[in-house]
């Protein structure tokens, strides 16, 4: 890509960006350059309206709102299925909006992690997000196995920051028929490395293991083809790149080949019971076909309404255009970092655009203390990024609402902080 390291160039890129008008659809915190959508996405302006509409319907209709609200609450989760399916490359029957990520992970493991004396191991990446590791280790222990023996954690090779595909596949093969489950991220939260899901799922299935993906950092960020990947399940949250607000409703994918599997053990609740007989309130559980059969409770309308607003914006933008802008925007940020702070930082995220989303993770040379001070200086300069222990600064220009100019200001502030803060 042809870039020139000037503010004018950034502005020219913004002027030529056909998605630039979408920024106005988001509330952008004043006097901040917000590059933290990998942690909490900005609020779509329409979110307020969507939530107010639900409040009004509650005030005016009370219990009748379940059927008579403008978006009847009884079918509220279903109104999201098309949009979620489009974002994940799934069939609508394969996705459901429900709960939060870790809850969904446990529900999926209840069905897809069924260890026995021979096949009981779970393979994850070393340095996995703490909640995923807690969930996996606690499931292993709950089934009576020892996490020290059953949990396989794969690290990058010595001196490398990211995992090689071949090493992931050979670790899966090496675990062989002791492997019950592979739980893998779509995009690693600390390094920003994106993975090809299909080959990981195939490698897991070749050993007879099940495979699930954590898409917390991938959904809304990367193009996904969950159905084609053949994953057994996937889980995600909606407060990062899906912009649905703090603690928003999460989501879950269950592959269509499991859609009619009434034999699969699961933790059941009434909202997963077949919709046509749910209110008969009988004792026998008949699951709704597909991912919806794993729902437990009626959905929290106020934490779901903002997601509707956000999905509408994704539909307007279109995935190919968003991905195209994302590649350019992140390449621009990378170019600026290489140009202005080449010696002082190490880029941890792959340079290959197919192996990353919009997030770039950097390590500041000179140790974690300097890294933290630089991060704090960025905050003081109004650049909102985040810091992940022990020493990683994550910066994410989000194509729905960030500008090329934002990256320019971030790179300038970073260069200024690095010039000011000594290495020792």
Ligand X SMILES: Cc1ncc(COP(=O)(O)O)c(C=O)c1O
Residues making contact with ligand X (CB under 6 A): 100-102, 129, 131-132, 185, 189, 214, 216-217, 237, 250
Report the nearest approach of ligand X to the CB of residue 102 (Å): 3
By C-beta, is 178 or 243 nearer to ligand X? 243
Report the nearest approach of ligand X to the CB of residue 130 (Å): 8
By C-beta, is 102 or 310 nearer to ligand X? 102
- Which residue is listed with tokens 């192996």? 355
By C-beta, is 101 or 291 nearer to ligand X? 101
By C-beta, is 72 or 269 nearer to ligand X? 269
Report the nearest approach of ligand X to the CB of residue 295 (Å): 16
Q: Is 215 exposed, middle or buried (0-12, 13-18, 19+ CB in 10 A)?
A: buried
DSSP E strands: which ranges in 58-103? 95-97
286: helix, strand or coil: coil
By C-beta, is 109 or 411 nearer to ligand X? 109
Report the nearest approach of ligand X to the CB of residue 297 (Å): 16
Report the nearest approach of ligand X to the CB of residue 17 (Å): 28
Report the nearest approach of ligand X to the CB of residue 386 (Å): 11
Report the nearest approach of ligand X to the CB of residue 71 (Å): 24
Comparing C-alpha atoms, which of 26, 65, 28, 29 is closest to residue 47? 26
Specify whether the CB–CB gap between 26 and 243 falls below 8 A.
yes
Separation of alpha carbons 264 and 400, rounded Å: 39
By C-beta, is 185 or 245 nearer to ligand X? 185
DSSP structural state of residue 210: E
Handedness of CA 315, 248, 122, 148 (dihedral sign): positive
Report the nearest approach of ligand X to the CB of residue 248 (Å): 9
Specify whether the CB–CB gap between 38 and 217 falls below 8 A.
yes
Residues 236/75/92/108 CA torsion (nearest 10 deg): 40
By C-beta, is 186 or 290 nearer to ligand X? 186
Separation of alpha carbons 233 and 229, rounded Å: 10
By C-beta, is 26 or 236 nearer to ligand X? 236
Q: Is the backbone of residue 412 left (phi > 0), alpha (psi -120 to 50) or beta?
A: alpha
Report the nearest approach of ligand X to the CB of residue 280 (Å): 33
β-bridge mates for residue 122, sequence order: 151, 181
Comparing C-alpha atoms, which of 8, 41, 10, 9 is closest to residue 23? 41
By C-beta, is 134 or 206 nearer to ligand X? 134
Report the nearest approach of ligand X to the CB of residue 185 (Å): 6
390 vs 127, 227, 387, CA distance in Å?
11, 36, 8
314 vs 22, 44, 337, CA distance in Å?
10, 11, 29
By C-beta, is 161 or 214 nearer to ligand X? 214
- Can you list the alpha helix ranges (DSSP code H) found in 113-185? 130-142, 147-150, 165-175
Which residue has its beta carbon closest to ligand X? 102
């Amino acid at each position: 890509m042809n870039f020139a390291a000037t503010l004018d160039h950034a502005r020219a890129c913004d002027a030529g960006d056909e998605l630039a008008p979408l920024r106005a659809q988001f509330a952008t915190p004043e006097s901040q350059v917000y590059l933290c959508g990998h942690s909490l996405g900005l609020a779509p302006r329409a979110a307020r309206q969507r939530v107010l509409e639900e409040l009004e319907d509650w005030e005016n209709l009370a219990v009748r709102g379940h059927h008579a609200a403008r978006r009847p609450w009884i079918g509220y989760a279903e109104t999201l299925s098309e949009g979620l399916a489009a974002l994940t490359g799934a069939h609508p029957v394969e996705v459901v909006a429900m709960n939060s990520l870790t809850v969904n992970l446990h529900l999926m493991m209840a069905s897809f992690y069924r260890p026995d004396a021979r096949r009981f191991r779970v393979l994850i990446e070393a340095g996995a997000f703490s909640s995923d590791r807690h969930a996996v280790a606690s499931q292993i222990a709950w089934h009576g196995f020892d996490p020290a023996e059953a949990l396989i954690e794969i690290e990058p090779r010595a001196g490398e920051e990211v995992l090689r595909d071949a090493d992931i596949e050979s670790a899966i093969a090496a675990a062989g028929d002791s492997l019950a489950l592979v739980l893998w991220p779509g995009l690693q939260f600390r390094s920003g490395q994106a993975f090809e899901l299909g080959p990981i799922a195939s490698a897991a299935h070749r050993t007879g293991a099940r495979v699930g993906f954590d898409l917390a950092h991938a959904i809304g960020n990367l193009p996904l083809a969950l159905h084609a990947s053949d994953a057994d399940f996937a889980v995600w949250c909606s407060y990062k790149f899906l912009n649905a607000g703090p603690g928003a409703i999460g989501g879950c994918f269950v592959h269509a080949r499991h859609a009619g599997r009434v034999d699969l053990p699961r933790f059941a609740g009434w909202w997963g019971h077949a919709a046509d007989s749910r209110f008969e309130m009988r004792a026998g559980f008949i699951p709704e076909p597909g991912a919806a059969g794993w729902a437990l409770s009626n959905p929290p309308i106020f934490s779901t309404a903002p997601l509707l607003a956000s999905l509408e914006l994704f539909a307007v933008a279109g995935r190919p255009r968003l991905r195209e802008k994302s590649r350019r925007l992140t390449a621009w940020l990378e170019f600026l970092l290489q140009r202005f702070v080449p010696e002082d930082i190490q880029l941890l995220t792959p340079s290959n655009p197919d192996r990353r989303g919009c997030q770039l993770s950097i390590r500041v040379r000179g140790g974690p203390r300097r890294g933290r001070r630089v991060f704090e200086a960025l905050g003081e300069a109004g650049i909102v990024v985040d810091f992940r222990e022990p020493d990683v600064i994550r910066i994410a220009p989000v194509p729905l609402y960030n500008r090329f100019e934002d990256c320019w200001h971030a790179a300038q502030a970073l260069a200024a902080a690095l010039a000011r803060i000594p290495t020792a």
